[in-house]
Amino acid sequence: MSDAWLKMTAAELGREIGAGRIDPLDLTKTYLAAIARHPLRDRIYARVTESRALAEAAAASARAKTGQRLSPLDGVPISWKDLFDTAGIATEAGTALLRGRVPELDAVVLQNATAAGLVCLGKTHMSELAFSGLGYNPITATPPSVNDPDGVAGGSSSGAAASVAFGLAAAAIGSDTGGSVRIPSVWNDLVGLKTTSGRLPLEGVVPLVASFDTVGPLCRSVEDAALLLAALEGAESSAELKGATLGGVRLLVPTNPIFGKSRKEPQAGFDRAVARLEAAGAEIDRKVIDCIEPALDLSPILFATEAYGTWKDQIEAAPDKMYSEILQRFRAGGTFGGADFVQAWQRLRALRRQWSVATAAYDAVILPTAPSLPPKIDRLAQDHEYYVTENLLALTNTRIGNLMGLTAVTLPTGIPSTGIMFLGAPNSEEAVLRLASAAESALA
């Protein structure tokens, strides 16, 4: 057993298992030991599923010894955000409203991953009911950023990102409704994949806004993201990453005024990354995309109305159990009428068509993943205006991908807690992952 395993990508671990150089049971024990001794364990993991992990690892070990591995990631231990149902194990979505909730079945994506041989290490902390991009949660726990012990990890998949960044999981599975995979990925120097709405099943996933909710991995490499996508949908990976190049690739940088709010470090990381992509052969264009601001203006009604409609009864039965900032965000959805909600969706569908026309000539639209760095935990706890401002700013760029129904990948830029995001057409995961793989090489 070796602690060096804790820094390897999931794909590397899978290859070592396939070659007989790592035993899945030893690997899982190494991760469980690392979790047990880590000082941040209880701020990252809500529950560690040790018995399940050891049983799954033992089965993977037996398969590896007889050449019957189920997938390239068979035997690799990963973590799961605490909104994915786990049979017989509490799934509480970071809220006291669901305390003691124990599902009877695994979420479908967890069933698929288990069928691919992945080992479930446990459930990670998250923003309450996934309704924040910051990851601050005084109801359960708040994981820190790997780059700033006083800063949040990003949300809502906060513990998911921290589990990988601190070497307590080979990869993690989170969800993304407005940026909840990508924000914690960027603030912890990880790769994050936001899948197209509907690409991966949501059965057994505690909802926030089902119309926008998506499932995706947080991991150490684009290769990991491609392999995990395949495992989550119960298929073989169809993303061909070998030989990916930026030669002839056309990328668009939107120059809308709203992106002028990006702070110094994130903008520097993005500019550095763009220069490297251009040096590697990518063609970079810059122009305003007129439909972005009108789409963002629809966010309050589209997200909050459906979220409140989904959770109103539970919330109003016990509002005192909720963190006040999250409670206010939900209740804001009760201020809109049904006609307004329908009209907003009609408007968004028209804006999506405008986006498609404006970006059709490009392989991807690129932006700083987050325009800010991790906010400070102590100040978020005490300053309402700071919480609201930082949350809205953090989600500005990522939310475009959800509103427009896109595929998105974030990569680290090399400057801590800054990232570059690639936005591709709906259901273009394979193409965007191939592009991201080429970009990953250029940025290395």
Question: Which of residues 188, 205, 233 is at a domain's end?
Answer: 233
197, 263: one domain: no
The catalytic residue among 61, 71, 79, 81 is: 81
- CA distances to 9, 34, 56, 186, 262 from 5, in Å: 9, 11, 18, 23, 36
What pLDDT, in 10s, does the model give residues 225-250?
Answer: 999 999 999 988 877 899 999 999 99
Q: Give the span between the Cα atoms of 174 and 166, in whole angstroms.
A: 16
Please indicate, yes or no, if residue 324 is contained in any of the structural domains: no
Taking CA atoms, 168 is separated from 8, 75, 98, 180, in Å, by 11, 15, 26, 20
Q: Are 347 and 229 found together in one domain?
A: no
With beta carbons less than 8 A apart as the criterion, state whether 215 and 109 touch.
yes
* Residue 310 belongs to some domain of the structure: no
Per the CB < 8 A criterion, the answer to whether 176 and 402 are in contact is yes
Token code pair at residue 230: 């395949």
Is there a single domain that holds both residue 97 and residue 204? yes
One domain for residues 282 and 192: no
Inter-residue contact 199 to 186 (CB < 8 Å):
no
Q: Which of 132, 175, 180, 417 is catalytic?
A: 180
Q: Quick one: 180 and 96 in the same domain? A: yes
127 has catalytic annotation? no
**Pair (154, 94) in one structural domain:** yes
User: Same domain, yes or no, for 336 and 417?
Assistant: yes
Q: Is 152 a domain residue?
A: yes
User: Residue 426 — φ and ψ, nearest 5°?
Assistant: -55, 140
Assign residue 48 a region (left: φ > 0; alpha: ψ between -120 and 50; beta: otherwise). Answer: beta
**269-305: burial string, b at 16+ Cβ within 10 Å, e else:** bbbbbbebbeebebeeeeeebebbeebbebbebbbbb
Q: Do 159 and 37 sit in the same domain of this protein? A: yes
> Is 79 labeled as catalytic in the residue annotation?
no
Structure tokens at 102: 């124990």
Residue 12, domain CATH: 3.90.1300.10
Would residue 316 count as lying in a domain? no
What backbone phi and psi angles, to 5 degrees, belong to 382? -115, -15
Distance CA 176, CA 195 (A): 8
Q: What is the pLDDT along the chain (444 residues), one digit of tens a residue?
A: 789 999 999 999 999 999 999 999 999 999 999 999 999 999 999 999 999 999 999 999 999 999 999 999 999 999 999 999 999 999 999 999 999 999 999 999 999 999 999 999 999 999 999 999 999 999 999 999 999 999 999 999 999 999 999 999 999 999 999 999 999 999 999 999 999 999 999 999 999 999 999 999 999 999 999 999 999 999 888 778 999 999 999 999 999 999 999 999 999 999 999 999 999 999 999 999 999 999 999 999 999 999 999 999 999 999 999 999 999 999 999 999 999 999 999 999 999 999 999 999 999 999 999 999 999 999 999 999 999 999 999 999 999 999 999 999 999 999 999 999 999 999 999 999 999 999 999 999
Q: Do residues 259 and 367 lie in contact, with contact meaning Cβ atoms separated by under 8 Å?
A: yes
Question: Which range of residues forms the domain containing residue 82?
Answer: 3-233
Confirm whether 89 is domain-assigned: yes
CA distance 125 to 136: 10
In a domain, 21, yes or no: yes
The reply to whether 269 falls in a domain is yes
Is residue 213 located within the same domain as residue 258? Answer: no
Residue 175 to residues 31, 130, 161, 346, 362, Cα–Cα distance (Å): 23, 8, 11, 25, 27
263/354 same-domain check: yes
Write out pLDDT tens, residues 144-164.
999 999 999 999 999 999 999
- 222 in a domain, yes or no? yes
**Do residues 186 and 90 share a domain?**
yes
Active site residue 81: yes
Residue with tokens 């949501």: 202
- Which two three-digit tokens encode residue 355? 């986006």
The reply to whether 122 and 224 lie within a common domain is: yes
Is residue 123 classed as helix, strand or coil in its secondary structure?
strand
Q: How would you label 71-108 residue by residue, b for 16+ Cβ within 10 Å and e otherwise?
A: bbbbbbbbbbbbbbbbeebebbbbbebbeeeebeebbb
Which of 71, 127, 145, 156 is catalytic? The answer is 156
Our count of domains for the chain comes to 2
